[in-house]
Amino acid sequence: MTYFDDTEYASRNLIELITHEEKELALLKDSLITEEAKFRVNRWDFETSDLNDDFSDAYVQAAFGRMARAHEEAGKLKAQANALQVSIGARQMAVQAMCGALLQIAKQGISVVHGGLGAAPSGRGISGIALKDIVWQARNQALHYEEGNFRRAVTDLFQQLENSHGSEFSLTQHAHQSRAKQTVALLGWNDYAVFQKDMKSLGL
């Protein structure tokens, strides 16, 4: 049995959970957009009616009625939006944690099988960076993101990723935030077959 075989169940299930949570997040974000739009539409209808002399008094009064009803519902809409925002935040944190766990499995494999980073095969290159280095340093960032005090190897790697792939990898713009989800997405590890191929390329 290899390290990969021993950790296959955990890795496969983590990837399935990450994929599921990402889909749920997308649905929640769509719901939030809908809830926030409801009040804006009614408010716009009244405000534009009130300011436009071309509308009759009856139309303006009707618009006022709609606005009054919208105002009554504002508390409910706000509560629903707030609840969605809290749920989205919680799920985002959960996804980051699960992605961090996936990176931990890969990093631990490098440690257990090869005794450290130096002796491990490089794996494929991503924007000129060895897979093993991304795994090792991204895992360290995900483990210590709350402290925000990273070793030079971590900051150098994420600077390279930021230069190649944009601000989502910026440790300055995302201070005290894990970048595990962004790293897993970059590696394509939402697909178990890609993860499996990468683990074998690292000799795991």
Quick: pLDDT tens for 177-203.
999 999 999 999 999 999 999 999 999
Whole-number pLDDT of residue 6? 95
The domain tally of the chain equals 1
Residues 15, 192: contact at Cβ < 8 Å?
yes
Question: Cα(118)–Cα(36) distance, rounded to whole angstroms?
Answer: 51
* Domain range enclosing 196: 3-201
Q: If pLDDT is split at 50, 70 and 90, which confidence band does 71 have?
A: low
Question: In the beta sheet, which residues pair with residue 126?
Answer: 129
Q: If pLDDT is split at 50, 70 and 90, which confidence band does 52 have?
A: low
Whole-number pLDDT of residue 55? 61
Structure tokens belonging to residue 33: 């957009």
Q: What are phi and psi of 56, to 5 degrees?
A: -75, 160
Quote the mean pLDDT of the chain: 88
Q: Is the pLDDT higher at 141 or at 40?
A: 141
pLDDT above 90 for 5: yes
pLDDT above 70 for 48: no
Q: What value does the mean pLDDT take over residues 85-102?
A: 91
Whole-number pLDDT of residue 161? 98
Whole-number pLDDT of residue 183? 98
- Position 194: which residue type? V
Q: Under 8 Å CB-to-CB from 19, ≥6 apart: which residues?
A: 190
